[in-house]
Amino acid sequence: MKRVVITGVGVVSSLGNNKSDFWDSISSGRSGIGPITKVDTSDLRFKNAAEVRGFQASEHFDDRMMLMLDPFAHFGVVAAREAIADSGIEFDDALRDRTGVITGSCLGGKETEDAFFFDLYANKKSRVPPIAIPRSMSNAVASHVSIEYGLTGATFTTSTACSSANHAIGQAFWLIRQGTLDAAIAGGSEAPICNGNLKAWEAMRVVAPDTCRPFSKDRSGMILGEGGAMFVLEEMEAAMKRGAKIYGEVAGFGMSADAHHLTMPLVQGAAKAVKAALDDASLVPEDIRYINAHGTATQANDPMEANAIRSVFGDRADDIPVSSTKSMHGHTLGAAGAIEAAATVLGMYYSVLPPNANFTEIDPECRVNVIANEAREGSINAAISNSFAFGGLNAVLAFKRFAD
């Protein structure tokens, strides 16, 4: 089977609107969580989110494209452009034919839907613009990137709640490894900060009133975030032949379903996905030197994930550094796996373990080796990044430091 490497990274997030700014914030432990500015929060129980700030879509798109794209697509397309430029890849006709775009999004164009439904139901308008469907469809990023670069290989979007981006990256990895594609643009994006969606999350009572403290005894819930991250994945020999910079290797991918409950996660399901990723990568638990946790800071997820980690790694769980970067960029739902993969891969590349910000005191029910508040220097030869979604849908990526 072919080996698959990452040659380009692009990020738009609350921690920065490009890869460099994002990594500078992650490695410094700076949080992007702050007061919500995009929506009136006077009737919301929570007031904070991890908003993308300083991003001007008009600087990236002409008037026609601005009309056609929802903010979630702005984030995804701009991240894809950065990843492609970062990779230095050049698409000739043969490569366009064998390059696909695989993206993840939980909500798609939620801001568009929210605004147009408000026009229908509150403002009593009798119609919505004809661009309503193209703006709101979850595959908008995949389709626009495909069109912009003329990429005609397998192109599609996964929507599996908070595992969407990991499923997308994993599928892209498999398609290249098995020879269906030679390269892929893969990742995810989300723009969930609109009134209707915030009210829906408020009803679930899982959003923190202040900030996100994964694995802390005093954690009080998740913080919603927005943004996107995209990668250029290539078959290793082709990447090496053209002298590409290689950030790391996608080594394995594991999936599972809890078949248990829509919102209560299951240790066995999460552990199964972790084991599947290790097996797919031909790794053993002793190889793993860092875990980027799903780590939502909810009462349900964190003990479950800690127990799943201990189920797979046994007593080694005391030694493997763990962090949830959601503590800085928030829970970006369908984009979470992509943004967290960026943190993991860049951490491996720069030999820095991303921190778990806002940490105060370990919860005895969450017995993991938390990288508390400050990044650690250290070589990472192999790492995993977890995504565990509502609906019990789990997706885990395994990465390796590149060695030819």
Task: Tell me the catalytic residues.
Answer: 162, 294, 331
Q: Are 225 and 13 in contact (CB under 8 A)?
A: yes
Rounded to whole angstroms, the Cα distance separating 234 from 256 reads: 25
- What radius of gyration do the chain's Cα atoms show? 20
Sign of CA dihedral 295, 298, 300, 306: positive
Of all helices (H) and strands (E), which one includes residue 19?
A: helix 19-28
Give the pairing of strands 352-353 and 376-377. antiparallel
Rounded to whole angstroms, the Cα distance separating 205 from 76 reads: 29
Rounded to whole angstroms, the Cα distance separating 393 from 18 reads: 29
Residue that the structure tokens 């643009």 belong to: 185
Rounded to whole angstroms, the Cα distance separating 348 from 343 reads: 9
Neighbours of 179 (CB within 10 A): 11
For residue 237, CA distances in Å to 3, 86, 282, 404 come to 8, 18, 20, 9
CB < 8 Å & 24+ apart, contacts of 20-28? 22/342, 23/346, 23/350, 25/328, 26/325, 26/328, 26/329, 26/343, 26/346, 26/347, 26/354, 26/375, 27/347, 27/350, 27/352, 27/354, 27/375, 28/375
Token pair of 48, please?
């904070």
DSSP annotation of 225: B
Closest among 143, 4, 138 to 65, alpha carbons compared: 143
Sign of CA dihedral 342, 344, 347, 351: negative
Closest among 202, 369, 388 to 301, alpha carbons compared: 388
Rounded to whole angstroms, the Cα distance separating 386 from 167 reads: 11
